[in-house]
């Protein structure tokens, strides 16, 4: 049993949520790492005895068979995997009166933190969904003296939190104001604006335990002036990991900031996805024999062992995706799931939702 990636777990979790029991007959077992498998087996044997008291014949049969499947599986497990073990079993047939008892054994990408046995109308997937939550975010700020936009990078998504304007007048002075007086007014308004930006940053991020870093973009003097005069609280100032020279200070500025911060964000999912799709589209344009986005062509290439990387949009047909994924696993292809949170991801989804980068050209 291989440990699932977060993308694989997300796909499986969505599938598991589609199954509904006709009674409390879907079984969920969560076993933390290091927990004694034998004691779990004994507990489930006890639950099997209790199941004999279920009045409904079909429910009793489904629960008993599901428990037996889990117990048989556990007999072959010498010790729980490093991240623990999740076992789910039950009648997943969508047809009334028919049986299809299935078992899923899962080693998740993060440690199982709960010990659980539950028999319900649905599989318990909340602990798995918690593992899919983004573990860290980056705060984004683009600014000049007139405008600022605060956002955050959450996985592959750029989210806008706050847009602000300073109200500072243009360089044309109102009737008869002296140059010095006008300068004093604008400087005072600028400082007030910087303080407001800092207050909004504090509201959004000061107590956010997922904050990994802050990246600030804008014209050279403005962002440096803001950062070097201690407007931000020390706790946030210490989180600043990058300054980027950009001109836009609206939503498009946040996107430009992320793109120009590739080295800073090298390990972030959004950059990995953008680079991956850039490679795919470039290959498709310049060397089309080494890439494909047609289902039949990709399936054939997988059957011939020619696919190096298989790309699947998260919006792609689940049944076909599962089929292609299985073929890819058989030939040790790299499997990449593509979101629809980026422009490139949407473009890929609109193209066909699947793609392949080939190891060699098929004749």
Mean pLDDT within 153-158: 87
354 lies in some domain = yes
Do 241 and 258 lie in a common domain?
yes
The residue range of the domain holding 343 is 270-358
pLDDT at 172: 52
Nearest to 116, CA basis, from 149, 84, 156: 84
Do 152 and 185 lie in a common domain?
yes
363 lies in some domain = no
d(CA 81, CA 108): 9
Confidence of residue 175 (pLDDT cuts 50, 70, 90): low
Which of 88-92, 159-163, 183-187, 316-320 shows the lowest per-residue confidence on average (mean pLDDT)? Answer: 183-187
Average pLDDT, the chain: 92
Residue 257: is its pLDDT beyond 60?
yes
Interval 187-212: pLDDT, tens: 889 999 999 999 999 999 999 988 99
- Strand (E) or helix (H) holding 174: none
Interval 31-83: pLDDT, tens: 998 899 999 999 999 999 999 999 999 999 999 999 999 999 999 998 899 99
d(CA 351, CA 168): 46
d(CA 54, CA 50): 8
Which of 99, 132, 165 corresponds to the end of one domain?
Answer: 132
Q: What is the pTM of this model?
A: 0.65
Do 113 and 226 lie in a common domain?
no
Interval 105-150: pLDDT, tens: 999 998 998 999 999 999 999 999 988 887 789 999 999 999 999 9
């Amino acid at each position: 049993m291989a440990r699932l990636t977060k993308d694989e777990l997300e796909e499986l979790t969505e599938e598991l949520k589609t199954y509904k029991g006709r009674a409390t007959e879907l079984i969920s077992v969560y076993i933390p790492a290091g927990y004694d498998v034998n004691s779990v087996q004994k507990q489930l044997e006890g639950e099997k005895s209790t199941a004999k008291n279920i009045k409904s014949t079909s429910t009793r049969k489904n629960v008993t068979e599901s428990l037996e499947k889990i117990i048989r599986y556990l007999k072959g497990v010498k010790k729980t995997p490093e991240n623990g073990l999740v076992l789910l079993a039950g009648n997943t047939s969508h047809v009334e009166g028919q049986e299809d008892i299935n078992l899923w054994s899962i080693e998740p990408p993060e440690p199982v933190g709960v010990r659980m046995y539950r028999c319900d109308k649905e599989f318990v997937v909340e602990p798995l969904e918690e593992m899919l939550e983004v573990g860290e975010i980056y705060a984004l700020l683009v600014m000049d003296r007139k405008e600022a936009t605060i956002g955050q990078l959450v996985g592959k998504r750029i989210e806008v939190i706050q847009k602000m304007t300073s109200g500072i007048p243009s360089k044309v002075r109102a009737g008869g104001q002296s140059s010095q007086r006008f300068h004093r007014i604008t400087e005072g308004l600028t400082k007030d604006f910087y303080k407001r930006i800092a207050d909004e940053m504090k509201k959004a991020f000061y107590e956010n335990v997922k904050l990994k870093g802050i990246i600030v973009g804008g014209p050279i003097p403005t962002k440096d002036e803001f950062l070097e005069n201690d407007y931000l609280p020390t706790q946030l100032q210490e989180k600043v990991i990058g300054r980027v020279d950009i001109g836009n200070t609206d939503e498009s500025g946040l996107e430009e900031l992320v793109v120009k911060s590739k080295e800073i964000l090298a390990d972030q999912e959004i950059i990995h996805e953008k680079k991956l799709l850039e490679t795919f589209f470039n290959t498709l344009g310049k060397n089309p024999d080494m890439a494909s986005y047609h289902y039949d062509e990709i399936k054939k290439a997988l059957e011939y062992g020619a696919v190096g990387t298989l790309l699947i949009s998260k919006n792609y047909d689940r049944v076909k995706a599962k089929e292609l994924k299985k073929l890819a696993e058989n030939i040790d292809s790299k499997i990449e799931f593509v979101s629809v949170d980026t422009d490139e991801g949407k473009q890929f989804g609109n193209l066909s939702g699947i793609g392949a980068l080939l190891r060699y050209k098929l004749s």
